[in-house]
Structure 1
Amino acid sequence: MRHSYPAYPAARGNVLLLSCMDLRLLDDIVRFMEHDNLTNRYDQFILAGAALGAVVNDHWNTAFFEHLDVACKLHNVRDVYILEHRNCGAYKVFLGDEGSFDDSHQHHENELHLHNRYAQQLAERIRSWSQTSGNPLQVQCFLMDLRGNVELLADTAAQDEGSAAV
């Protein structure tokens, strides 16, 4: 099966990948990272719900940033990939009905926006940490479907700033 991947700037060096623990996507995650020429060039940190887990759970947030710090020191990480996925059970566990989606078009869009919201919240925290820690990092946020196809999640804050500048 051929997977589709979005266009975005290539990782400049080693990457820290934050992904969910969903066992249905492990091989697809490896394929996605191979597509980015990152074989043996990424650390993987796994949390239930990926960005959601890091945002809503203080202990997991602390663990994530401690791991990120060590990864930067040991492996010269320059990029962070946040990889969310559709039909995430952790969203249902943490958010209840707000995190439950069916296959309707409206739910599909709502799911996209919810994943993007939490991914961008964590991305902003990473960028802030990056500035204060002296480790310049680029952050990319993605959403994978259950077939392994990936889309780039838009940084809505950056888009809003760009439209305000026009």
Structure 2
Amino acid sequence: MERNHTCEAAIVSCIDFRFQRFIREWAFENLEDRPHDYIALAGATKNLDTIKEQVDISARLHQIKNLYLIHHENCGAYGDESTLERHSQDLKKAREEISDKHPNLQIHLYYLHLDGTFQKIE
């Protein structure tokens, strides 16, 4: 078993099949097809404790340097609360909590629209 395997980044997104092609294409273009961990959970960071556990594992085992958190428009896990404002709040909260434990990790936030457009959240 290979013991020293690393990758540059991890991507966290929702499981929604409507967005998987957009995310794959985005990762190919932006990560230049470099290996990355992919973490998918309904609502992405909505269940933040589970996501933090997965990010901890990715950071420990694969020494990731970048983390991409992606929420999307019309998320069923959020139901009526699936608004850009709510997703932005949750993404920022996730960045803050993950940064507390992983201060050297660069965390990038995105909101993915139904048409495949990625909107960076600052």
Q: Judge same fold: TM > 0.5, yes or no.
A: yes
Q: Residue 65 of structure 2 contacts residue 105 of structure 2 at CA under 8 Å; is this kept in 1?
A: yes
CA RMSD of aligned residues (A): 1.6
Deviation of residue 38 (structure 1)? 4.2
Report SS of the residue matched to 1:116: helix
Q: Distance in 1 between matches of 2:12 and 2:32?
A: 14
Report SS of the residue matched to 2:20: helix
Picking from 31, 42, 47, the partner of 1:37 is: 31
Q: Distance in 1 between matches of 2:29 and 2:69?
A: 16
Tell whether 2:15 aligns with 1:47: no
Tell whether 2:113 aligns with 1:141: no
Aligned to 1:115: 87
Report SS of the residue matched to 2:93: helix
Identity %: 27
Report SS of the residue matched to 2:42: coil
- Superposed, 1:1-166 pairs within 5 Å as 14-54=8-48, 61=49, 63-92=50-79, 97=80, 99=81, 111-131=83-103, 136-154=104-122
Q: Residue 14 of structure 2 contacts residue 71 of structure 2 at CA under 8 Å; is this kept in 1?
A: yes
Higher mean displacement: 78-87 or 64-73:
64-73
Aligned amino acid, residue 84 of structure 2: L
Aligned amino acid, residue 38 of structure 2: Q
Aligned amino acid, residue 25 of structure 2: R
TM-score normalised by the chain length of structure 1: 0.65
Report SS of the residue matched to 1:48: coil
Deviation of residue 53 (structure 1)? 2.5
Q: Per residue, is there more helix in 1 or in 2?
A: 1
Q: Distance in 2 between matches of 1:118 and 1:138?
A: 17
Unaligned runs of 5+ in 2: 1-6
